[in-house]
């Protein structure tokens, strides 16, 4: 891990990791945009072929989980740690696994990458992506209301981060922490998204909100995911003695033989 630096200045040696974080979220957003448009746009063949909305949602969930797993286990994803999410970076910062300077630049590049991914999808898919029901794949509160959306976002964020921390700190299972993350994302998209849109990620939500000018409940997605993952880090710290921890890097998947990405 790099030493903490008092000045808010990007670490030159860490620029590859910052850029990878941008690439990873851009890739995730592009994949999500294409899959959702193919399955939900009225002008898409798959939308007509698969009439059950629940089946379409499950297929989107599978695609998003598989995309996350592919990015996490990719050589680049292993290098940066594959946060792809300011809330994940905040949790690792809370645990002292990444410096404040690197955390800030990780977050900045995540926000940039998310927006790049959405804009690329808009250019590629056109009105099918921009118009309802796809609507830039924006995350907005469901019919149950803002309160339910906030609680749901905080809860799924807490469970995801706590699962990653627990699995990654068990030597026998640590290599599977990325698969656990992908499985949870699949389940969340399939079952939770009607409540909140399933974001867990401020950068992901803002990337859709900006070009679509969709601001409904935006504050939820900047507060609940950060609160949930910060709480997961605090719970993990309280319940897991330092001596029993085996994962001390800022990576979703930590393998001891992998050269540390700094962070």
191-202 tens-digit pLDDT: 999 999 999 999
Give the length of the chain.
263
Burial readout 221-252 (b: 16 or more C-beta within 10 A, e: otherwise)? bbebbbbbbbbbbeebeeeeeeeeeebebbbb
Query: Within a 10 A sphere around the Cβ of 124, how many other Cβ atoms?
Result: 13
End-to-end CA distance of the chain: 5
12-61 tens-digit pLDDT: 788 999 999 999 999 999 999 999 999 999 888 787 788 889 999 999 99
- When the candidates are 1.20.1080.10, 3.30.70.141, 3.40.50.150, 3.40.50.300, the CATH number that belongs to 14-244 is 1.20.1080.10
Structure confidence at residue 45 (pLDDT): 76
Structure confidence at residue 202 (pLDDT): 98
Structure confidence at residue 263 (pLDDT): 52
CB 21 within 8 A of CB 80: yes
| Nearest CA-CA partner of 24 in 150, 136, 156, 178 | 178
> pTM (2 decimals)?
0.90
Structure confidence at residue 228 (pLDDT): 98
Q: What residue ranges of the chain have pLDDT lower than 50?
A: 1-8, 257-262
- In Å, what is the CA distance from 237 to each residue of 103, 163, 244? 19, 13, 11
Structure confidence at residue 257 (pLDDT): 43
Structure confidence at residue 262 (pLDDT): 44
Structure confidence at residue 23 (pLDDT): 98
Q: Domains of the chain: which residue ranges?
A: 14-244
State the Cα–Cα distance between residues 193 and 149, nearest whole angstrom.
9
Structure confidence at residue 9 (pLDDT): 58
Structure confidence at residue 12 (pLDDT): 77
State the Cα–Cα distance between residues 19 and 79, nearest whole angstrom.
11
Structure confidence at residue 6 (pLDDT): 39
Tokens of 4: 């903490």
């Amino acid at each position: 891990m790099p030493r903490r630096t008092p000045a808010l200045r990007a670490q030159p040696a860490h620029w590859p990791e910052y850029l990878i974080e941008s690439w990873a979220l851009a890739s995730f957003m592009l994949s999500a945009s294409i899959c959702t448009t193919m399955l939900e746009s009225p002008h898409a063949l798959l939308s007509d072929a698969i009439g059950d909305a629940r089946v379409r949602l499950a297929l989107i969930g599978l695609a998003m989980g598989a995309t996350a797993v592919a990015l996490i286990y990719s050589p680049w994803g292993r290098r940066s740690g594959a946060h792809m999410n300011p809330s994940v970076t905040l949790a690792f910062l809370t645990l002292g696994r990444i410096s404040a300077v690197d955390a800030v630049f990780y977050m900045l590049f995540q926000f940039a990458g998310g927006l790049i991914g959405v804009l690329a999808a808009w250019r590629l898919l056109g009105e099918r992506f921009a118009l309802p029901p796809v609507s830039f794949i924006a995350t907005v509160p469901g019919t149950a209301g803002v309160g339910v959306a906030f609680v749901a976002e905080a809860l799924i964020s807490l469970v995801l981060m706590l699962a990653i921390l627990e699995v990654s700190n068990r030597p026998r299972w640590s290599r599977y922490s990325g698969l656990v993350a992908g499985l949870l994302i699949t389940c969340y998209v399939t079952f939770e998204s009607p409540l909140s849109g399933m974001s867990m990620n401020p950068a992901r939500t803002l990337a859709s909100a900006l070009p679509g000018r969709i601001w409904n409940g935006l504050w939820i997605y900047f507060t609940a995911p950060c609160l949930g993952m910060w709480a997961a880090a605090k719970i993990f710290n309280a319940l897991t003695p330092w001596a029993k921890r085996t994962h001390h890097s800022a990576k979703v998947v930590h393998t001891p033989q992998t050269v540390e990405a700094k962070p």
